[in-house]
Amino acid sequence: MKLLLILTAFVEIISSLEVNELNRRTARSLPSTVYSDFFGPQSLHKPSRAETDSRCGERPGKLLKIVGGKVTAVESHPWIASIFWRGRFSERVFKCGGSLISPCWVVTAAHCFPDGTETKLHRLSVFLGKNAVNETDYEREQKFRVDELIIHHGFDNSDGNYNNDIALLKIIGNDGRCAEESGSVRTVCLPPANQMLPAGVTCEIAGYGKEREGIWHNSQYLREATVKLLSQDVCTSNDYYGKMVTNNMFCAGSPDWKIDSCKGDSGGPLVCEANGRLFLFGIVSWGEGCSRKFRPGVYTRVTQYNRWIGRKTGLSSIAAGSMYPQK
């Protein structure tokens, strides 16, 4: 009987993924990648608390990449969060990425939660410091439950529209504490409201998504890549996405169309460097396929939501983007 239930769940997973692959316009989430129930107890590793806001966007050191610059260590992106869902058979399902903006708050994509405000929070868990989605490193990782989910009131993708694709998760550990800074866990900085970067600027993306279009499973390990920002005029041109891209979005990709975010990367960070700090400019949102010509990744423009973030979290100083270098 147990074997039958497992096989039934697996068939449902494959069917769901096949349907997702047929969709012309797709979110970058991978809603049905299942891993065994590998999670152990809450890590007893308690890094010392530090002034997270003043050290946001700093990483212990850019570690060497592996396998042609694709796989990376979490210390290179210590703000990345991995969001999991407990499925109908108690299996652990990787849902989306996210970014730690304060010890208690993670920002991610709204489309990661198709049930919206009806999402069952007790079935969600968030990990920080995770190198591999199906492995647990108790020295690096910190595990949390979701205490609150806030989805932007303007998000509604009932017609395939990903405008206002942003959500906030308030996280708390079993011991009642939020995230604590360590070599593998740090916050990312927010840029100021309406801060713009010119086309051609190189930024970084990271996540556990698919390595390429057409495969049904996502990456076991954290991966990173560099992409270049595209101008809004190019992104909204008829050769690209036209009117599907709003002012709350922007595009980024590589000149040879070989590098892109993909399914499973949804909610994860696009960060750009300024004066040695990394700032969260984008949230992986959607795109047509992966690494397709004239179809770059589309990202939620974080600088359109500073006031909303500050109002919902009470983090007015962090949301103000005060760590961004002033001219």
Torsion of CA 180, 186, 191, 193, to 10 degrees: -30
Tokens encoding 132: 């591999």
Best CA proximity match to 137, nearest among 79, 62, 221? 221
In sequence order, what DSSP letters do the residues of 250-271 get, joined into one string? EEEE-TTS-----TT-TT-EEE
CB 101 within 8 Å of CB 315: yes
Q: Is 152 a catalytic residue?
A: no
Active-site hit among 43, 99, 111, 152: 111
Angle at 73 between CA 272 and CA 148, to 5 degrees: 70
Identify whether 165 is a catalytic site residue.
yes
Q: Which residues contact 94 (CB under 8 A, 6 or more apart)?
A: 30, 33, 35, 82, 83, 84, 85, 133, 208, 218, 264
Catalytic site residue 266?
Answer: yes
How far is it, in rounded angstroms, from Cα 174 to Cα 237? 49
Catalytic residue among 165, 184, 285, 291: 165
The pair of structure tokens assigned to 284 is: 């992986």
The active-site residue out of 29, 43, 182, 266 is: 266
Q: Catalytic residue numbers? A: 111, 165, 266
